[in-house]
Amino acid sequence: MSRPSPPSSIQQAREALGKRLREIRQDAGLTARAVAAAAGWHESKSSRLENGKTTPSDEDIRLWTHVCHAEGKAADLIATARGIDGMYVEWRRLERAGLKHVQDSVLPLYGRTRWFRFYQSQVVPGLLQTREYTQAILRTVVALRDVPGDIEEAVAARMSRQRILHSGGRRFAFLVEEWVLRSVIGNPSTMANQLGHLIGMTAAPSLSLGVIPMGVIRGHAWPCESFSLYDGKEAASELVSASLTITQPSEVAEYAKTFAELASIAVYGAAARKLITSALDALG
């Protein structure tokens, strides 16, 4: 199976890095062919690097800057390249150290964030999940991907992380599509307990929980992949095969605008509880 094309964020970052490499080469008065020859590469490699087709390795950058007599720029370029690789992390690679590792990996981000916004088009947001609901989701992850089965440790880590909801000094906004409430995760009993928990959370003073009704006129608020926003400085999107981190201000702003559009068609408070109760009644 071929590897999927990189998201636009990553491609733009690669192209920006390639432009910097080209400028360094031009400042040195060298052709791309001359750099390739001095580095011992096929001449097409220089073109791929300059055009953002490939993210350069640390050694590629060291060779490039050495040939162009710009060794002082190597460290900054290497840091930039590593940042590009870190934007797109395959779930298999992230989960290789265990599911608990995945849960713990976001703790630094959560610790420094004061304004959280979560949109979920598939499942209940992690900070609002019950223990049994989380167990059911992680069992599915283990079944679909060849990852360590440290489910109980991962569940405990997620439950512990939920304490941040009561830590004070933070704001939380959650949006879910109504079909999330009607998708049975685990079994009906697991889902009933989860929906009951959500009903209670609609009254929590530290957060807002909005439900986007099925059949509502969407306007500009198209359903999309699940994503989260942290203080307006960073966004994260959950793809089927990977996690995508977005830090480019213009793209973070697009996610913030999308969240605002989705929030504008959601219902809250009593209206949200009515939709959750309806989903609960449908379980029989």
**What pLDDT score does 69 carry?**
95
Residues of the chain with pLDDT below 70 are 1-9, 83, 85-94, 240-242
| pTM, rounded to two decimals | 0.74
CB atoms within 10 A of CB 269: 12
CATH no. for 8-87: 1.10.260.40
**What pLDDT score does 242 carry?**
67
Tokens of 129: 């999940």
pLDDT in tens, 108-162: 999 999 999 999 999 999 999 999 999 999 998 888 777 777 899 999 999 999 9
Whole-angstrom CA distances from 50 to 20, 28, 64, 116, 130 are 8, 15, 11, 37, 49
**What pLDDT score does 2 carry?**
39
Tokens of 167: 């830590």
The Cα 187–Cα 183 span in angstroms is: 10
Strand, coil or helix: 230: strand
Write out the residue limits of the CATH 1.10.260.40 domain(s) in the chain.
Answer: 8-87
**What pLDDT score does 104 carry?**
87
**Centroid of chain to Cα 246:** 8
Tokens of 150: 């440290």
Write out the residue limits of the CATH 3.30.870 domain(s) in the chain.
Answer: 96-282
165, with CB counted inside 10 A (0-12, 13-18, 19+), is middle
Mention every residue, 6+ apart, whose C-beta is less than 8 A from residue 138: 99, 151, 154, 155
Fold of 96-282: Endonuclease; Chain A (3.30.870)
**What DSSP line would sit under 165-223, residue for residue?**
GGSSS-EEEEEEEHHHHHS--S-HHHHHHHHHHHHHHTT-TTEEEEEE-TT---TT---
Check: CB of residue 241 under 8 Å from CB of residue 141. Answer: no
Strand, coil or helix: 116: strand
Pairing of strands 171-177, 115-120: parallel
The Cα 55–Cα 82 span in angstroms is: 9
The Cα 1–Cα 133 span in angstroms is: 32
